[in-house]
């Protein structure tokens, strides 16, 4: 079988102070049916990392590389560190608190021909809220919206991971100045640069939530980060998208809107969000 039929897939995984979860994520990569991959784990200066480092060392698997940075540089910087080091034809990522189903890479590779005309591939997820499960299919499905430019320019309908050519990731990279919406930002720039994505209907990833560990993306600077994202891309958004994005900023800030602001940002979709928010109180 030629190298073209079995291309190398590079996988980036940032981690920080979540050893047990990171080991679970690594094990899910090891269970992939498609086995020609490399996993680059970048530890962003965790204070406790001996167990994780020892686990990788005992694997003695040349496909798995682990680096513990001496200085904390942030999630985007460590992702870029791994992306720049990628040697594969294709690239994708895994968060240290998530898992893959065994067929994730093989399903993406079976659909890689769509990358000739599409920026990247993405798929549905399962959601695990701390429950014990026997098979991923027993978990609730997190179905993502069918691709729509109109929807995507209002919110991130893609999720936290995509699959594409490694050179595309290396050309775009994560914005290391952003403190929020980093995934949304890079995927938006890839869409603008390389075209619309292609969605697989398969669910190939398990998103773990409410696991009790420190949330890397939780920060009091979230509002400032998302506002930075909005200002960076607002020229790309039409009027309806701008209203949606500004409404999101108010939600993140958790600041009540006066009547004038409500009328300014009024759209059918925002009205539904406002009603749902009131019901949730």
128 sits in which H/E element? strand 121-128
Q: Grade residue 104 by pLDDT with cuts at 50, 70 and 90.
A: very high
What is the C-alpha separation between 100 and 3, in angstroms, rounded?
A: 24
What is the C-alpha separation between 206 and 104, in angstroms, rounded?
A: 11
Mean pLDDT score across all residues of the chain: 89
Identify the domain containing residue 42 by its residue range. Answer: 9-208
Q: What is the structure's pLDDT at 236? A: 95
156 in the same domain as 57:
yes
pTM over 0.85: yes
112-148 per-position pLDDT tens digit: 999 999 999 999 999 999 878 889 999 999 989 999 9
Please indicate, yes or no, if residue 223 is contained in any of the structural domains: no
14 in the same domain as 117:
yes
Please indicate, yes or no, if residue 213 is contained in any of the structural domains: no
> How many domains are there within the chain?
2
What is the C-alpha separation between 184 and 151, in angstroms, rounded?
A: 13
For residues 184-202, average pLDDT = 97
171 in the same domain as 273:
no
259 in the same domain as 203:
no
149 in the same domain as 43:
yes
CATH code, domain with 87: 3.90.550.10
User: Helices 268-279 and 239-253 meet at what angle, rounded to 10?
Assistant: 20
209-231 per-position pLDDT tens digit: 875 444 444 445 788 899 999 99
197 in the same domain as 255:
no
20 in the same domain as 153:
yes
260 in the same domain as 204:
no
Please indicate, yes or no, if residue 228 is contained in any of the structural domains: no
Please indicate, yes or no, if residue 198 is contained in any of the structural domains: yes
% pLDDT > 70, the chain = 85
Supply angle C-alpha 13, 17, 21, rounded to 5. Answer: 60
CA distances in angstroms from 179 to 19, 58, 98, listed in the order given: 23, 35, 21
Q: Of 164, 193, 208, which closes a domain? A: 208
Please indicate, yes or no, if residue 14 is contained in any of the structural domains: yes
**Residue 15 bridge partners (DSSP):** 43
45-60 per-position pLDDT tens digit: 999 999 999 999 999 9
């Amino acid at each position: 079988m030629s190298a073209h039929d079995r291309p190398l897939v590079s996988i980036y995984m940032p981690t920080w102070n979540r050893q047990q979860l990171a080991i679970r994520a690594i094990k899910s990569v090891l269970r992939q049916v498609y086995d020609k991959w490399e996993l680059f784990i970048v530890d962003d200066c965790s204070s406790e990392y001996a167990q994780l480092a020892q686990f990788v060392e005992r694997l003695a698997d040349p496909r798995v590389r682990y680096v513990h940075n001496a200085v904390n540089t942030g999630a985007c910087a460590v992702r870029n560190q791994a992306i720049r080091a990628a040697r594969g034809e294709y690239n994708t990522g895994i968060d240290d608190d998530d898992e893959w189903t065994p067929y994730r890479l093989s399903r993406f590779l079976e659909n890689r021909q769509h990358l000739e005309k599409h920026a990247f591939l993405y798929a549905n997820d399962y959601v695990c809220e701390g429950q014990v499960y026997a098979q991923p299919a027993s978990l609730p499905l997190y179905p993502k919206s069918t691709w729509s430019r109109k929807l995507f320019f209002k919110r991130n309908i893609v999720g936290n991971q995509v699959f594409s050519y490694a050179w595309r990731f290396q050309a775009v990279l994560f914005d290391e100045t952003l403190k929020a919406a980093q995934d949304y930002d890079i995927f938006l720039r890839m869409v603008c640069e390389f075209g619309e994505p292609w969605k697989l209907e398969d669910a190939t990833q398990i998103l773990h939530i409410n696991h009790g560990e420190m949330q890397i993306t939780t920060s009091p600077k979230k509002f400032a980060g998302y506002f930075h994202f909005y200002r960076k891309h607002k020229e790309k958004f039409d009027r309806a998208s701008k209203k949606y994005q500004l409404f999101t900023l108010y939600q993140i800030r958790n600041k009540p809107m006066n009547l004038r602001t409500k009328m300014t940002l009024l759209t059918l979709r925002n009205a539904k969000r406002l009603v749902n928010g009131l019901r949730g109180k």
